[in-house]
Amino acid sequence: MAAAIDAKYTSNQFTVTFDGMPEETLVQSVTGIGWELETAEEAQTGMGAKRFRPGRLNYNDISIERLYGTDRFFSDWMALNASPVLTDRKSGQINLLDRAGEVIGTWEIRGAFISKWSISDQDSGSDDVMKESVEIAIEELVRTA
């Protein structure tokens, strides 16, 4: 029998905040929260079965999309990272909110920098809301709540 789904985890509201960000920001989408453990094959002698051991832990890049507005935090941060020497790594967090706006999950991000920034395509015949998208490379991701 399948486990029942807790209704509070059906919400799709997220906020993000990073060092120096003027205020916590509600975002449209967050993708890439996760990590992967590489596996390495151990050297074998004789005719034994293959054996593997854990290797390096890799964190996914996190993509964030929000409505485009007057807040230039992400574009300014990206401009700082465009220099030959990366000096502006930040820490931050992503919060998952339930339908009442209460935090029900938190991921701490460490050693982050923006690797890609963009806004939605410009089309004078469209009435779509403009969006800002960033990809953030990270050194560490920890679920804290």
HSE, side-chain direction, 13 A CA sphere, residue 40:
7
pLDDT on residue 5: 65
pLDDT on residue 10: 66
115 phi and psi, to 5 degrees?
Answer: -105, -15
- The Cα 76–Cα 104 span in angstroms is 30
Q: How many CB atoms lie within 10 A of CB 104?
A: 16
Q: Who wins on pLDDT, 17 or 127?
A: 17
pLDDT on residue 100: 85
138 phi and psi, to 5 degrees?
Answer: -135, 155
pLDDT on residue 96: 92
- The Cα 88–Cα 78 span in angstroms is 9
pLDDT on residue 128: 87
- The Cα 77–Cα 135 span in angstroms is 12
pLDDT tens digits, residue range 20-60? Answer: 998 889 899 999 999 999 998 887 766 677 888 898 999 99
The lowest-confidence range among 2-6, 55-59, 136-140 is 2-6
pLDDT on residue 140: 96
pLDDT tens digits, residue range 64-77? Answer: 999 998 899 999 99
Burial status of residue 44 (CB atoms within 10 A of its CB: 0-12, 13-18, 19 or more): exposed
Joined tokens for residue 33: 């929260």
pTM to 2 decimal places:
0.82
- The Cα 114–Cα 44 span in angstroms is 42
pLDDT on residue 44: 73
Residue 109 has pLDDT above 90, yes or no: yes
Compute the residue count for the chain: 145
pLDDT on residue 1: 54
**Structural class in CATH, domain 15-37+50-143:** mainly beta
